Amino acid sequence: MQKYNSLVVVGSQWGDEGKGKMTDYFAQKADLVVRFAGGDNAGHVINFNGQKHKVTIIPSGIFNKKVTSVIANGCVVNLLNLVKEFEVIKNSGVSYGNLLISDRVQLILPYHIKIDEAQEEARGENKIGTTKRGIGPAYQDKVSRLGIRLGELREENFKERFKIVFDYQMKFLKNMFNVEALDFDQTYNDLMDAYQKIKDKIIDTDIFIETAIKEGKKVLFEGAQGALLDIDHGTYPYVTSSNTSANNASTGSGISHKLIDSTMGVVKAYSTRVGAGAFPTELLNEIGDGIRERGHEYGSNTKRPRRIGWLDAVALKHAIRTSGIDSLFITLLDVLSGIDQINICVKYELNGKEINNVPSTNQMYEMCKPVYLENPGWSEDITGVTSFDQLPDEAKNYLKMIEKICEVKIAGFSVGPDREQTVILENIF
């Protein structure tokens, strides 16, 4: 397989595929790591040198000292949380010097969090199970042209403009949800305090990224969430509010799609979902419980237990198509050790007919029954494996089967959370 200079790394399921681990791994060879969508609804755990780190909005390449990490225009940013996150990871030798933020990012403000909470409450039984980080309302405001771009904080009349937007939001909260007003001065002062701490990191990042690619630098584009949570191509309405798929790497970082060479989809060896929505391969039994415990499948952000299911190749192929995925990276393979039979969903049955695609509505998706291909499992602990050859035959066959069904090359696999527990099959970056 060819080696690429600009690579997009995206989640190919419902998030938490190990994108953080993989981005950190490939960042060892990168000059730039660019986060292009989402906000602090993401939660990535990164392990190396016996230490465990967590990031939400800061790009996962930040722990590699030579990397410049960029939060690009497609993201929504809560400045207060960004500053807090930096204070935590600073202790591991990370400096603000490695971070740049686009002046075009949209801000998540305290009222977005209030609206997120109130909307979830109002949805009642149909609640999405959001992370309550204000993501949906912040993207709503971007599209409604009520949002605040980070670059605006530099302007002299910002306080007056912010007051107009703020008053509108307070009226909306009161009239729509009967939520009491926030204090304007407090909100403004907190925002400006955080802004003071990061203001020299704010630039026009699209020009910076474009120049880097044209100069031959190695650039990783880091996706958040997963393709099935994409606002257009995901399992709507149980999705997040941004385009999480790889196509947004160009819009979300302000560069031409022609500058992007290749896309790698990170895939868990099984499936997980946090929050509500149809999940055809869900395992509501002791196999699912076992995977949850062995894989520590609890949200790194919200601590919610993740729902567990078999690998769903129909959903995965949908992600491959809608994100243009060129290679797959299989993570958490070690978690499947000790299971007698491992299933892969290859079709759905809907109203007595077989279908090969993800239907457009949740109601129809709820009615889909998985059709499985059965694979023999393995019992060996594979967490120390360093090559394909060292895998038990059943694990080799499982990977080959995924490759065959998806018709996409597997670039590597991961057998534990640590940076070292990574096996490369194709040197693509």
**Coil, strand, or helix at residue 383?**
coil
Q: Write phi, then psi, for 86 (nearest 5 degrees).
A: -65, -40
Among 27, 37, 42, 425, binds ligand IMO (CB under 6 A): 42
Of 46, 36, 40, 47, residue with least CA distance to 8: 36
Beta carbon of residue 235, minimum distance to Mg ion (angstroms, whole number): 17
For residue 326, state whether it binds Mg ion (rule: CB under 5 A).
Answer: no
- Taking the C-alpha atoms of residue 279 and residue 365, their distance in angstroms, rounded to an integer, is 8
CA 281 – CA 294 distance, rounded (Å): 19
Is 416 assigned to a binding site? yes
> 142, 233, 318, 347: which one is catalytic?
142
43 marked among binding-site residues: yes
Interface residue with ligand GDP, options 6, 8, 9, 21 (CB under 6 A): 21
Nearer to ligand GDP, 151 or 392 (CB): 392
Q: In angstroms, what is the minimal distance from the CB of 151 to ligand GDP? A: 28
Are 168 and 143 in contact by the 8 Å Cβ rule? The answer is no
The reply to whether 142 belongs to the active site is yes
Residues 24-63 that bind Mg ion (CB under 5 A): 43
Residue 76 sits in the site that holds ligand IMO (CB under 6 A): no
Distances (CA, A) of 372 to 14, 231, 238, 344, 351: 20, 28, 24, 5, 17
CA distance 347 to 377: 21
| 102 has binding-site annotation | no
Q: How far is it, in rounded angstroms, from Cα 409 to Cα 79? A: 39
- End-to-end, the C-alpha distance of the chain in Å comes to 10
Q: Based on the residue annotation, tell me whether 44 is a catalytic residue of this protein.
A: yes
Does the footprint of ligand GDP cover residue 20 (CB under 6 A)? yes
- Binding site partner of 135, from Mg ion, ligand GDP, ligand IMO, none, Cβ cut-off 5-8 A by kind: ligand IMO
Q: Which residue has the tokens 């609890």?
A: 298
Q: Which does 130 bind (CB under 5 to 8 A by kind): ligand IMO, ligand GDP, Mg ion, none?
A: ligand IMO
Report residue 372 as tokens: 């499985």
Report what 331 binds from ligand GDP, ligand IMO, Mg ion, none; CB cut-off 5-8 Å by kind: ligand GDP
* Radius of gyration over every alpha carbon of the chain, rounded to an integer in angstroms: 21
DSSP H stretches of helix in 312-391? 313-323, 362-367
Residues annotated in a binding site for GTP: 15-21, 43-45, 306, 332-334, 414-416
Residues carrying an active site annotation: 16, 44, 142
Query: What are the residues binding ligand GDP (CB under 6 A)?
Result: 11, 15-21, 42-45, 47, 295-296, 300, 331-332, 334-335, 414-417
Residues annotated in a binding site for substrate: 300-306
Residues annotated in a binding site for Mg(2+): 16, 43
